[in-house]
Structure 1
Amino acid sequence: MDSTQHVRAMLSFVQAADRGSFAAAARHLGVSPAAVGKSITSLEAALGVRLINRTTRSLQLTEEGQLFLLKAREAIDALDAAVDVVTNQRTQPLGKVRISTSNGFGRHFLLPLLPRLIALYPGITPEIEFDDHQVDIVRSGFDLALRGGTIEDSALVARKIHTMQMVLVASPTYLAAHGIPRHLPDLADHRLIAVRFLGGRTSSWDIEDGGGEAFLPHPAALTLSDPEAAMIAAADGLGIAQVGLHYAWPLIREGRLRILLGDRLRSASREMVLLYPHRALIAARVRATIDFLTQEFGKIESLHVKAADLAAYRCG
């Protein structure tokens, strides 16, 4: 007998023993009495012992049958418990949730939300990997990812978190010492902070130069490999940097950074999105995490700054 036949035979045997007849067991299982009898006979043949002494009026378990009944019930209980575990995880937010996120967004916006997520769903165990490289979510086994830029993988479900807006910034101290650039050519006389990624590409600035060409901060007075470090360098008076508004907004509000050439900034089609592989049959632990993060990200001021909010913080 294979495993499937063993399970079917055990169910027939346990029901027959509990209900006192093949007919009653068959009604409960939705099969014929002959099918119940055949399953039990096959089980006895496989075990090499008789489990039930049968007469036309009653069933009597043998000593071996009584022992087997105890073990069969343990096996069926274990099977029911396995089904319950999976069912509970499907209906209740329980288990590990693997999240891939960039370093900056993960530190600034995801980590502060985790205490509330865990308090709301104590059965969820977040497992977060910080990586600024694009990852294959499915192949790497992630439940979801937080990624910014131009998202092209149509096989993934993408829920928009916010539109990514870049701004040029410098500190009041730097501007007092070097002057305020009011036109694009003025940047040639300033200290420019460039971001060069580990792959060797220097990030262009989202400035309308009139020629349709990407503006590169060249020559750069300072080159860094981390966008957040460029923002800190600008706040410390080391020069002008292009930074994500969602990162810089608290420093802008505090007066530590001012926005430059606001009228020359162009809007790039970049978004921060929450990505996950499937629309249907999402585990409750993943669905609860997605819904929670989407709702909480919607409340964060830095992620939803409007153009009108920037006017008071622009120079020139």
Structure 2
Amino acid sequence: METMIGMQCFVRSAEAGSFSEAARRLGMTSAAVGKNVARLEAGLGVRLFQRSTRSLTLTEAGESFLHEVRDGLVSIQAAVDNLSSAGGQPAGVLKVSMGTGFGRAYMVPLLAPFLAKYPAISPDWHFDNRQVDLIAQGFDAAIGGGFELPPGVVARNLGPAHRILVAAPDYFNDKKAPKSPADLDAFDGIFIRSPQTGRVRPWPLRNRANEQAPITLRMRMTMSDPEAACESAQMGLGIALISVPNALPFLHDKRLVRVLSDWYVDGGTLSIYFAAQKLLPAKTRVFVDYVVEHFRAQHLAQQFSAI
């Protein structure tokens, strides 16, 4: 087990580029991570890292060792997790990343029934609108839309990742509502900037006939949080481009109305992501299955469709 801990510290340090960041991901102290790596090096009789006060880089032997052990370590950890499950039931800390507004609206309500079924699982849920590095940051799963799958990660589809235009119900009381995308240039826009790039993606609108048109709204403001953008639109500050899951609570309460209801942005799919491995930890497997089944039973894919 000591060697196992040492290899875990080595792999996380190599991925993070520092002992301190690896320690944060592992829930250990930086000193403990460094000592475990040093103990592993002593046992192997080879130096795995070149250390300096400013950097931590792999040696040639370290690069080779990382390539050999990383995938195997994931499988071993999964086997240990499954073997140590409480009374044969899925157990352990379940680290999941999801968007803030989406998570609060659609995932937090699942906590009580999920934990009633799997009481030995301890959720460690991170609410962040940024895409995470699932494997390097030690997440068991992540939920999001429009992500490109990195190596070693697979996904199960939950529904469409559509975006729609919304505004306050009285926004057009003193102005003529747009009849087509070409009319949007007369209105202020509230946009969501990418958490990864900090930029606003130039999404094209499309309709059922698969015709496309640019979004020509005047950029009045940008937000990093969809719920904040919805609240800004609710105050009559402009027309917002919002993902359907984030807009739905505002539409149901009639705090917002849809603009150009025949048009939408196709952002790909909303999916739940997890590591691609033959022996998936039981806690991750049952969580993924539970979420997928909940979305199916509640017809959320249909609700999230803008068409």
* TM-score bucket of the superposed structures, by smaller chain: 0.5 to 0.7
Distance 1:263 1:84 in 2: 49
1:113 equivalenced with 2:110 (yes/no)? yes
Residue 249 of structure 2 aligns with an amino acid whose one-letter code is: P
Which is richer in helix? 1
Whole-angstrom distance in 1 between the partners of 2:237 and 2:99: 25
| Among candidates 197, 200, 203, match of residue 202 of structure 1 | 200
Offset of residue 271 of structure 1: 1.0
Q: How big is the alpha-carbon RMSD for the aligned residues of Structure 1 and Structure 2? A: 3.0
Q: In structure 1, how many angstroms separate the alpha carbons of the residues matched to 2:158 and 2:138?
A: 22
CA deviation string 1:232-270 (max 9, x = no partner): 22223222111111221232233332222233435x251
Q: Which residue of 2 aligns with 1:233?
A: 232
Letter in 2 for 1:276: F
- Closer, same or farther: CA 287–86 of 1 in aligned 2, 3 Å: same
Q: How many residues align?
A: 225
Q: What is the rounded CA distance, in whole Å, between the counterparts of 2:252 and 2:126 in structure 1?
A: 30
Aligned-partner Cα distance in 1 for 2:102–2:178: 30
TM-score, normalization by structure 1: 0.62
Residue in 2 that maps onto 1:245: 244
Residues 1:260 and 2:266 aligned together: no
Larger radius of gyration: 1
The answer to whether the Cα contact below 8 Å between 1:197 and 1:226 also exists between their aligned partners in 2 is no
Please say if 1:292 is aligned against 2:294.
no
The 8 Å contact of residues 165 and 241 in structure 2, kept in 1 or not, is answered as: yes
Q: Which amino acid aligns with 1:174?
A: Y
With over 3 angstroms needed to count, the CA separation of the structure-2 counterparts of 1:148 and 1:253, relative to structure 1, is: same
Query: Do the aligned residues in 1 keep the contact of 2:141 with 2:274 (CA within 8 Å)?
Result: yes
1:122 paired residue number: 119
Does 2:191 match 1:174? no
> Shift of the alpha carbon at 1:85?
8.7
Instruction: Provide TM-score, normalisation by structure 2.
Output: 0.64
1:304 aligned partner: 302
For the residue of structure 1 that corresponds to 2:165, the secondary structure is strand
CA contact (8 A) 1:249 1:302 kept: no
Give CA-to-partner distance per residue, 1:150-201, whole Å, 9 cap, x none. Answer: 4333531211111111111112211223221112232122222122345430
Map Cα deviations across residues 28-47 of structure 1 (whole Å, 9 max, x no partner): xxxxxxxxxxxxxxxxxxxx
Match of 2:65 in 1: none
Matched, 1:160 2:157: yes
CA contact (8 A) 1:245 1:302 kept: no
Identity percentage over the alignment? 31
Q: Say which structure is richer in strand.
A: 2
